[in-house]
Amino acid sequence: MTVDVDVVVIGAGPAGMSCSRVLAQHNVNVVVLDEQNAPGGQIYKNIEGVTEKRPADLDFLGKSYAEGIEIANRFRAEDIDYRPGSSVWQISSSVVGKRRELIYSAGGKSHKLMAKYIVLATGAIERPIPVPGWTLPGVMTAGALQSLLKTSAVYPTGKLVIAGSGPLTLQLISQLMDANIEIAAFVDTTPAGSLFRAVFHLPRALLAPEYLKRGWHLVRKLKKSGIKMYSVASNLEIFGDQKATGLSFTSRGSRYGIEADVIALHEGVIPNTQTGRLLNIEHQWDNSQNAFRPVLDGSGETSVAGVFAAGDNAGILGAKSAVLSGEIAGYAIVEKLGFIKESARDLIIEEAKLRRFIENGVRPMLEALYPAPDWIASADNETIICRCEEVLAGDLRKIVADGCAGPNQAKAFLRCGMGTCQGRMCASTVTEIIAKELKRPANMVGSYNIRPPIKPISLGELASLNEG
Amino acid sequence: MFNRLPNIIRKPIIFYFDNEPIEALEGDTIASALLSAGVVEFRKSALSHNKRGPYCLMGTCFECLLEVDGVTQQQTCLIEVKNNMRVCREETKRLITNDG
Ligand SMILES: Cc1cc2nc3c(=O)[nH]c(=O)nc-3n(C[C@H](O)[C@H](O)[C@H](O)COP(=O)(O)OP(=O)(O)OC[C@H]3O[C@@H](n4cnc5c(N)ncnc54)[C@H](O)[C@@H]3O)c2cc1C
Ligand code: FES
């Protein structure tokens, strides 16, 4: 059965929640789809469950997490058709009668919607980190450990090593410390000289001083914690046979080897561009974040008319900005549907943009403090870059030397990007390696074309869709 | 490798993993329930058959795929565990895709 709606918002994180709230407040018929079981997105994952059932855990999860309940409550307060547990796997690139078809899977069945407007609020993913041994059980991301704490109050036991760089690693360490969970070591891969480069961005960062205060507090807390720390770490290698048992790395000129039961990697987050790629919207490479992001107009509309992007999938700006970007896209659509006047929209959007500019004050400083890793394009030849099809960095370099011109040819030759994850875990690495080998800008190299279904769908489910 | 913080409020439930009963708490995802029960390898890689386990716990890596109540290739980090659910490992199959 196909159902007509005005707007479909994909994602119920801060961006999707605020966008759909604005739409519902103006009586727009909106459906919100999210593959998680509850609203919150990545940052506020399970915020309702924790607030209601385990409020004591808010102490260690922290204030910036606890704040999320207010956003979730405001979202719940509106009459919104919110469908959790719904994975969007197809969005049609053609428009029929001003509407675009979208298909999602929920509870083993697929459903179709026809929408006038679509808002991609799919958030960020953690940057894939191709180091030797990263496919071993026991190796996870920092976000994964956070997710366990948030959804289930489950924590790693044994020797836990956190290896990486960025605000999320500091936040995780702080949460683990407050929950009295032991951390064996922090292998900090932040390059030398970051602090010096960051100082130049201090004036703008002072626009949003609470971030600076929070960051400073985290760094001091870590220094006083007594956790074993290795700084300016590089050349990580994880070892183990059936599962990870340790890692080695270089820190300030010496090579170290340490034991570990659980290893949490993290090198920042990048936009989740999967749904945008499905629609073939225009993307551009962001040199400071080393990742693709969609090209947008002032209100968040993509190169495909009627399709908007808001939140971290449109470029990494964090949760507060995601709320504002969601509102901006919401008001733009409300105006397009004729519920408010252009002049009213412009006033509201300009104000939201100003607030977003202030919120983003800290971004240039964060990017200087925790620059995107510069070594991914130099990943060792023997390292797996595509986890699903077990393609090595060396395999890719070899076909590039033989004339392979880009990610889509690489996919045809090597099957990288054709496994179950459909390139989510290798696309950024493949672009970076090809760009380096061909000495060509990443923007020209491009990324994989993405085809439906973007989630594994059984043949039975496909058949049931046609039955209606 | 994983344990639970003291938590008394959530209701205990039972589900089955490869036919073995496992205790979980209401609100757990299948993946978090398995991890806290000591299961870290969920599947084998498609080519070399090396062991794999959850990596991202947010729906991007697809390393947590298991069969759930007869439906194959389910992302268990996104699905809430339910009483009497039947979860099992599956032979990893290569995805059949329409491009190439
Ligand atoms: C693992 C992780 C942990 C993070 N933790 C923090 C943190 O603790 N503090 C912090 O400041 N920032 C954190 N961030 C940064 C984070 O990106 C932003 O703070 C914020 O969550 C962005 O909000 P958003 O609404 O843009 O996206 P998100 O909050 O990521 O929400 C996007 C939603 O879209 C859904 N979705 C994606 N694709 C589909 C699809 N195909 N079908 C259906 N639903 C889909 C997802 O399930 C998700 O709920 C984290 C990022 C990641 C990746
Ligand atoms: S653990 Fe990555 S998709 Fe489930």
So what's the ipTM on this one?
A: 0.95
Q: Do A419 and B72 touch (CB under 8 A)?
A: no
Interval B28-64: pLDDT, tens:
999 999 999 999 999 999 899 999 999 999 999 999 9
Among A151-160, A202-211, A355-364, B45-54, name the one with the lowest average pLDDT: A202-211
CA distance A274 to A276: 6
Of the partner residues B52, B55, B97, the one whose CB lies closest to the CB of residue A418? B97
Of the partner residues A53, A85, A451, the one whose CB lies closest to the CB of residue B99? A451
Q: Do B32 and A388 touch (CB under 8 A)?
A: no
- Do A2-125+270-340 and A376-445 share a fold? no
Q: Is the pLDDT of residue A84 over 80?
A: yes
3-state SS string for chain A: CEEEEEEEEECCCHHHHHHHHHHHHCCCCEEEEECCCCCCCCCCCCHHHHHHHCHHHHHHHCHHHHCHHHHHHHHHHCCCEEEECCEEEEEEEEEECCEEEEEEEECCEEEEEEEEEEEECCCEEECCCCCCCCCCCCEEEHHHHHHHHHHHCEEECCCEEEEEECHHHHHHHHHHHHCCCCCCEEEECCCCCHHHHHHCCHHHHCCCHHHHHHHHHHHHHHHHCCCEEECCEEEEEEEECCCEEEEEEEECCEEEEEECCEEEEEECEEECCHHHHHCCCCEEEECCCCEEEECCCCCCECCCCCEEECCHHHCCCCHHHHHHHHHHHHHHHHHHCCCCCHHHHHHHHHHHHHHHHHHHHHHHHHHHHCCCCCCHHHCCCCCEEECCCCEEHHHHHHHHHCCCCCHHHHHHHHCCCCCCCCCCCCHHHHHHHHHHHHCCCHHHHCCCCCCCCCCCCCHHHHHHHHHC
| A376-445: CATH class | mainly alpha
Q: Is the pLDDT of residue A223 over 90?
A: no
Q: Do A152 and B50 touch (CB under 8 A)?
A: no
Torsion from C-alpha of A362, A368, A372, A373, nearest 10 degrees? -150
Of the partner residues B4, B9, B51, the one whose CB lies closest to the CB of residue A137? B51
Query: How many pairs of residues across A and B have Cβ atoms under 8 Å apart?
Result: 163
* Selection from A53-57, A353-357, A378-382 with the highest mean pLDDT: A378-382
Architecture of domain A2-125+270-340: 3-Layer(bba) Sandwich (3.50)
Looking at per-residue confidence, does A220 or A177 come out higher?
A177
Q: Is the pLDDT of residue B95 over 80?
A: no
B98 confidence band (pLDDT: 50, 70, 90): very low
Residue B27 with chain A: CB contacts under 8 Å? 46, 49, 53, 151-152
Instruction: Decide: B57 in ligand 2 pocket, CB within 6 A.
Output: yes
A466 confidence band (pLDDT: 50, 70, 90): low
User: Mean pLDDT, to the nearest integer, of A193-208?
Assistant: 78
d(CA B61, ligand 2 centre) in Å: 5
User: Mean pLDDT, to the nearest integer, of A346-365?
Assistant: 91
Choosing among B4, B71, B92, B99, which should be mutated to test the A contact, i.e. which has the most A CBs within 10 A?
A: B99
Nearest residue to A261 (alpha-carbon basis) of A282, A239, A294: A239
Choosing among A122, A152, A450, which should be mutated to test the B contact, i.e. which has the most B CBs within 10 A?
A: A152
CA distance A45 to A65: 9
Mean pLDDT, chain A, as a whole number?
94
Q: Is the pLDDT of residue B96 over 80?
A: no
pTM: 0.96
A10 confidence band (pLDDT: 50, 70, 90): very high
Interval A60-78: pLDDT, tens:
999 999 999 999 999 999 9
> What chain A residue is nearest to B26 in terms of C-alpha separation?
A152
A456 confidence band (pLDDT: 50, 70, 90): confident
Nearest residue to A319 (alpha-carbon basis) of A34, A81, A13: A13
Tell me if A262 sits within 8 A of A138, measured CB to CB: yes
d(CA A34, ligand 2 centre) in Å: 15
Q: Which pairing describes strands A154-156 and A139-141: parallel, antiparallel, or unpaired?
A: unpaired
* Selection from A68-82, A356-370, B84-98 with the highest mean pLDDT: A68-82
Interval A241-251: pLDDT, tens:
999 999 999 99
Residue B72 with chain A: CB contacts under 8 Å? 458
- Which atom of ligand 2 is found nearest the CA of B62? 3
Q: Does B2 contact chain A (CB < 8 Å)?
A: yes
- pLDDT value for B97: 45
DSSP letter assigned to residue B36: H
Structure tokens at A238: 């994880």
Q: Do A421 and B53 touch (CB under 8 A)?
A: no
Looking at per-residue confidence, does A220 or A285 come out higher?
A285
Side-chain half-sphere CA neighbours of A278 within 13 A:
23
User: Mean pLDDT, to the nearest integer, of A216-231?
Assistant: 87
CA distance A366 to A199: 10
Q: Is the pLDDT of residue A400 over 60?
A: yes
- pLDDT value for B8: 65
- pLDDT value for B90: 85
Q: Does B11 contact chain A (CB < 8 Å)?
A: no
Domain ranges of chain A: 2-125+270-340, 128-266, 376-445
- pLDDT value for A464: 77
Q: Does B40 contact chain A (CB < 8 Å)?
A: yes
CA distance A346 to A352: 10
C-alpha A319, offset from chain centre: 11
A403 confidence band (pLDDT: 50, 70, 90): very high
Domain ranges of chain B: 12-88
Looking at per-residue confidence, does A1 or A38 come out higher?
A38
Give percent of chain A with pLDDT exceeding 70.
99
Choosing among A54, A148, A382, A386, which should be mutated to test the B contact, i.e. which has the most B CBs within 10 A?
A: A148
Domain B12-88 is found in CATH 3.10.180.10 = no
- pLDDT value for A412: 96
Interval A114-133: pLDDT, tens:
999 999 999 999 999 999 99
Helix H or strand E encompassing B74: strand B71-75
Q: Is the pLDDT of residue A309 over 70?
A: yes
- Which atom of ligand 2 is found nearest the CA of B75? 4
Domain A128-266 adopts which CATH fold? FAD/NAD(P)-binding domain (3.50.50)
Amino acid occupying residue B72: T
d(CA B53, ligand 2 centre) in Å: 9
